[in-house]
Amino acid sequence: MKGKKSESVSLASDTKETLIDRINKLIQGRSVRSVSVAWGLPYSTLNNYLNKGTDPSFKAIQTIAEAEQVSLDWLAFGVSQSELESPRDKEPPKVDRQLMKNSWDMVYESLSTDEISELLKAIHRKGIEGILKTSFVSDDSIESSIERLQIRPTLKQAIKLALAGDESIDREILHRIEEKKNTNLSGGLNQDANHSKVG
């Protein structure tokens, strides 16, 4: 019998759940006949998909996805929308700015002027770019990279805090370093402190 060649889609997936499993999820206890009417597919065609191992055509998968208002990617491949989003599309996690500031204050107060200066040198020397070499480095990898650095634990903590912050935290760090540099032992400002500003 000559007829239209059916375009079927290869639906092999790394997931254990198959296309037919996802179609069965969509049916959710309804009868195959009522679903075939709702989806606009012949009953025998849908029955063949479910019971005879026939692969649905791309058009049939598209029809089912539209009727059930699910993504074509999920139905065909089991891929959720969040898995499709690139890391750039994902919103960064919310950071509690006050907690971050308090944490930095604790670290900052525990460091001497020389240690603060050393911290900044270490950040520049080791290079944030070196620690974050590629955009696909995981947070765990960054943490372990920082932990492997041969520096004092307080510097490691300060680097982690700086990485988690934003530009306002960076300005605050630089401001405090400059402020500490310009303060003499009695707590007063050095003579030339009024002439330099950071920010």
> 80-135: per-residue pLDDT in tens?
755 555 555 556 566 677 777 888 788 878 888 888 888 887 777 666 656 555 44
* Number of domains the chain contains: 2
Containing structural domain, residue 141: 97-190
Q: Which residues contact 101 (CB under 8 A, 6 or more apart)?
A: 169, 172
> 14-51: per-residue pLDDT in tens?
447 888 889 999 998 889 999 999 999 999 999 998 89
Examine the pLDDT at 190 and tell me if it is beyond 80: no
Long-range Cβ contacts of 134-142 (<8 Å, 24+ apart): 135/87, 136/87
Same domain, 114 and 171: yes
3-state secondary structure (DSSP) of residue 124: helix
Residue 55 maps to which CATH number?
1.10.260.40
Same domain, 185 and 102: yes
* Alpha helices in the chain, H assignment, sequence order: 19-27, 32-39, 43-51, 58-68, 72-77, 81-84, 97-109, 113-126, 128-131, 139-148, 153-164, 167-181
Same domain, 105 and 175: yes
Same domain, 181 and 127: yes
Confidence of residue 11 (pLDDT cuts 50, 70, 90): very low
Which pLDDT does position 8 carry in this prediction?
A: 42
Enter the tokens of residue 110.
Answer: 């525990």
pTM for the model stands at 0.36
Same domain, 80 and 125: no
Domain assignment of residue 152, yes or no? yes
